[in-house]
């Protein structure tokens, strides 16, 4: 039986370009499997009408949202609101991982109240430390690498049938490992280690979930 994954990947500013790059890792991995179908709403496709269509017609079990957000919304292309209290019912019975600022604060609980099985996200701003000289090529940004690894750990764990709770546990371990190990001279040519460690600790603190920790893809 084919399992279905829906991914949104806007890339209209520096921050969304980084998230777009991070999400590319799981899409490459999914292509090597035979039982997972991924719908990639990339760039201009990451709009409200498209996500509503995909949620309704394709009925994906796992939804991976990348973009800006706040306590009650997740955004897509050019910050169009693609998920909020008006359409959150479309995620009923699904697992949602929203890589967006603040949305776990209120939207996550509302989603679960409306029937979403599990909603994973951040209760505060999601932080990334970037190398300004690498903004045009996020794939080569060493400062962003530990954040990329944490994001990839979470979605990879979900895709390969770990429970929502286990995926968060593994991701928190990855954050903790990066905090302990980051900071050799070759890792940090610009002296950004204190800021990177702070940002990793921040993301670790505010990552969480609402709903069923045993939910699996």
Give a three-class secondary structure readout of 91-108. Answer: HCCCEEEEECCCCCCCHH
- Asked if residue 11 has pLDDT above 60, the reply is yes
Q: How confident is the model at residue 191 (pLDDT cuts 50, 70, 90)?
A: low
What does residue 11 show for φ and ψ, rounded to 5 degrees? -150, 70
* Residue 188: strand, helix, or coil: coil
**Average confidence score pLDDT of the chain:** 94
Is 25 exposed, middle or buried, given 0-12, 13-18 or 19+ CB atoms closer than 10 A? middle
pLDDT digits (tens, 9 = 90+) for 49-63: 999 999 999 999 999
- Strand intervals (E) in the chain: 3-9, 36-42, 62-66, 69-70, 73-75, 81-83, 95-99, 118-122, 207-211
CATH fold for domain 3-208: Rossmann fold (3.40.50)
Alpha carbon 47 to its chain centroid, in Å, reads 17
| pLDDT for 134 beyond 80 | no
Q: Which two tokens stand for residue 74?
A: 């997740």
Q: For the chain, which residues make up each domain, given as ranges?
A: 3-208
Per-residue pLDDT tens over the stretch 142-184: 899 999 999 999 999 999 989 999 999 999 999 999 998 886 5
Looking at the predicted structure, is the pLDDT value of residue 185 above 60?
Answer: no
- As to burial, measured by CB atoms within 10 angstroms (0-12 exposed, 13-18 middle, 19+ buried), residue 34 is exposed
Radius of gyration from C-alpha coordinates of the chain: 16
């Amino acid at each position: 039986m084919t399992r279905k994954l829906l991914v949104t990947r806007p890339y209209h500013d520096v921050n969304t370009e980084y998230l777009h790059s991070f999400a590319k890792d799981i899409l490459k991995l999914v292509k090597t499997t035979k039982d997972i179908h991924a719908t990639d709403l990339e760039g201009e496709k990451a709009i409200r009408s498209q996500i509503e269509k995909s949620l309704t017609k394709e009925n994906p079990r796992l939804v991976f949202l990348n973009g800006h957000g706040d306590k009650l919304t997740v955004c897509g292309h050019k910050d169009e609101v693609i998920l909020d209290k008006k359409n959150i019912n479309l995620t009923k019975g699904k697992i949602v991982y929203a890589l967006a600022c603040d949305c776990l604060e209120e939207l996550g609980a509302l989603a679960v109240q409306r029937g979403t099985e599990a909603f994973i996200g951040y209760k505060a701003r999601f932080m990334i430390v970037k190398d300004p000289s690498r903004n045009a090529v996020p794939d080569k940004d060493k400062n962003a690498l530990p954040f990329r690894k944490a994001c990839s750990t979470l979605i990879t764990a979900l895709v390969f049938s770990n429970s929502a709770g286990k995926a968060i546990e593994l991701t928190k371990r990855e954050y903790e490992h990066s905090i302990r190990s980051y900071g050799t001279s070759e890792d940090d040519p610009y002296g950004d280690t204190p800021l990177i460690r702070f940002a990793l600790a921040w993301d670790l603190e505010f990552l969480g979930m609402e709903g069923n920790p045993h939910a699996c893809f």
